[in-house]
């Protein structure tokens, strides 16, 4: 692919990422699994063409299950614990992958355009101007096509 657009790493630096394309979308996910995996109120995800992502270093894997019963591979740095990438059969089919936006060093985390699983968001979450809100997945995202 072309020039590097984004560069990032996990907390310890053992896993390094470069993205050769702008994200197709940036989403905040308020689902319980993302809350637990991130240890925070939500996760920030960049949806990018899989072919544009280069990852160096060793990722550990946790096999999770989505709402629709799909297997989801959540990949993270086994040394420092930073979540890095999420993959499923649906993302593979579409040639996309999900990268945690908070890993980006340069430029830093891009602004989100959407929030998903808002029906599970913490009650104190303020309004974020410029984001489309969905109770679950956006209807057109295709990521929920197996539901």
Residues 12-71 close enough to bind Zn ion by CB under 5 A: 12, 14, 29, 31, 34
The CA distance from 30 to 78, in Å, is 24
Nearer CB in complex with Zn ion: 2/139: 139
The least CB distance from residue 74 to Zn ion, in Å, is 10
Q: Is 111 in the site for Zn ion (CB under 5 A)?
A: no
Q: SS3 string of 51-93?
A: HHEEEECCEEEEEEECCCCCEEEEEEECCCCCEEEEEEHHHHH
Q: Is 102 in the site for Zn ion (CB under 5 A)?
A: no
The least CB distance from residue 142 to Zn ion, in Å, is 16
Q: What is residue 27's three-state secondary structure?
A: strand
Residue 54's DSSP bridge partners are 18
Q: How far is CA 21 from the centre of its chain?
A: 15
Which of these segments, 3-11, 61-69, 118-126, 130-138, binds Zn ion (CB under 5 A)? Answer: 3-11
Q: Is 122 in the site for Zn ion (CB under 5 A)?
A: no
Residues forming contacts to Zn ion in the complex (CB under 5 A) are 10, 12, 14, 29, 31, 34, 77, 79-80
């Amino acid at each position: 692919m072309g020039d590097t657009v984004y560069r990032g790493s996990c907390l310890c630096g053992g896993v390094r990422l470069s993205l050769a394309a702008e994200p197709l979308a940036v989403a905040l996910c308020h689902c319980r699994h993302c809350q637990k995996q991130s240890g925070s109120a939500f996760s920030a995800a960049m949806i990018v063409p899989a072919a544009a992502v280069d990852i160096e270093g060793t990722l550990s894997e946790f096999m999770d299950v989505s709402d629709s019963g799909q297997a989801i591979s959540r990949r993270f740095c086994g040394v420092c614990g930073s979540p890095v990438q999420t993959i499923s059969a649906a993302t593979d089919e579409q040639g996309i992958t999900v990268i945690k936006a908070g890993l980006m060093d340069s430029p830093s985390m891009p602004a989100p355009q959407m929030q998903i699983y808002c029906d599970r968001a913490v009650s104190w979450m303020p309004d974020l101007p410029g984001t489309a809100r969905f109770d679950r997945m956006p209807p057109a995202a295709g990521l929920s096509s197996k539901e």
